[in-house]
Chain A
Amino acid sequence: MPGPMKIRATAEAGYTDIRVLMSHPMETGLRKGPDGKLVPAHFIQNVTVKVNGKTVVEGQISQAISRNPVFAFRVKGGNKGDKVEISWTDNKGEHNQTETAVA
């Protein structure tokens, strides 16, 4: 079960700042657990940011990103009330998404 996400989008003059917080273990696959065995890799692979349904960021990320990652994006334009959707998919096929209106 993917954990919660938190999103915030604020319109500034000419651009919109988007911040998103994701809860995810982001296991590299290289770490050993208390039992001495490798903890299987489990990390977010794809992140998509959409504004009013239009994809503005599509990113592939890797194990190099920390647990519970925070991302910040600055998108050109944007108005108050615009719908921002962010979704991710990890290497196990789990996914989660959240949305907010630009404030």
Chain B
Amino acid sequence: MRRVSSRALLAGAALTVAASLVHADDTRKEIEKYQRMTAESSPVELWEMEGADLWKQKRGPHNVSLERCDLGMGPGVLKGAYAHLPRYFKDTGRVQDLESRLVTCMTTLQGFSEQEATKRVFGNADKPSDMEYLAAYVAGKSRGVKMQVSTKDPKEKAAYEMGKALFFYRAGPWDFSCASCHGHEGKRIRMQELPVLSSPKGARGTYTTWPGYRVSVSQLKTMQWRLNDCFRQQRFPEPKYASDATIALTMYMAVNANGATYRGPGTKR
């Protein structure tokens, strides 16, 4: 530093954890402190900004923007849309989460083929994907809105029940289910506490901060990515992007999180 004015405080990317603490309780407190610091000013805002531009950009064979995309609150209404997803959509006849609905809008409005729209959904740090930008932007428009995912429609109810069944379904070479890690209090993977996603407490704290920016990989991760990676960690076959199974699991967690205020997109370790 060449010259710093006397009162200027330079807190350059203070993203380090004091990991020298021995006791689990202290460790947890330090992790919470770290999470607060990273959430205070998060690069997730950069994704939201890019997403806002992308949303308005005329793209695809039809050369139109996504501004007329109906995410369930009416065409072009973004405020609170994410807090009400997944939901049943009459036009497609299925329950859809945010990402599958964005694919629908890209195909119906912009004229992309489904293959083109889902060609590159998970980006990397050097080149994030369009889906990641858009998911961050749309989810950010629900900040401060209460989670209110409906199970009134029979298809919504069915998706919830299927998600619940999948959550507890043990299979794969390791005989794992989602509940193996996320079904009991007090489980950890390395330093990370694992939320009990079958309980409102765990689901509320976790679901309302996804999608999230992962500091360790400098990327925004979507819910579809999170589920995909959970299946990988369980040594299951890779689920199809935006498949009914992944949407059902999202539905199960979202309904469990009902009543909590959406706080995302969040910042993760």
Q: Are A60 and B1 closer than 8 Å at their CB atoms?
A: yes
Q: Are B8 and A71 closer than 8 Å at their CB atoms?
A: no
The verdict on A23 contacting chain B, using a C-beta distance below 8 Å, is yes
The verdict on A76 contacting chain B, using a C-beta distance below 8 Å, is yes
Distance from A50 Cβ to chain B, minimum over Cβ atoms (Å): 11
Please measure, in the bound complex, the distance between the C-alpha atom of A74 and the C-alpha atom of B7, giving whole angstroms.
7
Please, which residues of chain A bring their CB within 8 A of the CB of B50?
4
Taking Cβ atoms with an 8 Å cutoff, the residues of A that contact B are 3-4, 6, 15, 19, 21, 23, 25, 49, 56-61, 65-76
Please, which residues of chain A bring their CB within 8 A of the CB of B218?
66-68
Q: Which DSSP category, helix, strand, loop or mixed, fits chain A's interface?
A: strand
Q: Are B8 and A75 closer than 8 Å at their CB atoms?
A: yes
Please measure, in the bound complex, the distance between the C-alpha atom of A61 and the C-alpha atom of B13, giving whole angstroms.
11
Please measure, in the bound complex, the distance between the C-alpha atom of A15 and the C-alpha atom of B8, giving whole angstroms.
10
How many A-B pairs with Cβ below 8 Å? 73
Taking Cβ atoms with an 8 Å cutoff, the residues of B that contact A are 1-13, 15, 41-43, 45-46, 49-50, 125-126, 215, 218
Q: Are B126 and A6 closer than 8 Å at their CB atoms?
A: no
- Say which residue of B4, B42, B43, B45 sits within 8 Å of A59 (CB atoms): B4
Please, which residues of chain A bring their CB within 8 A of the CB of B3?
58
Please measure, in the bound complex, the distance between the C-alpha atom of A65 and the C-alpha atom of B43, giving whole angstroms.
14
Please, which residues of chain A bring their CB within 8 A of the CB of B6?
76
Q: 16 pairs across A/B with beta carbons < 8 Å?
A: A6-B46, A6-B49, A21-B41, A23-B46, A25-B125, A57-B10, A59-B4, A61-B1, A67-B125, A71-B13, A72-B41, A73-B8, A74-B7, A76-B5, A76-B6, A76-B7
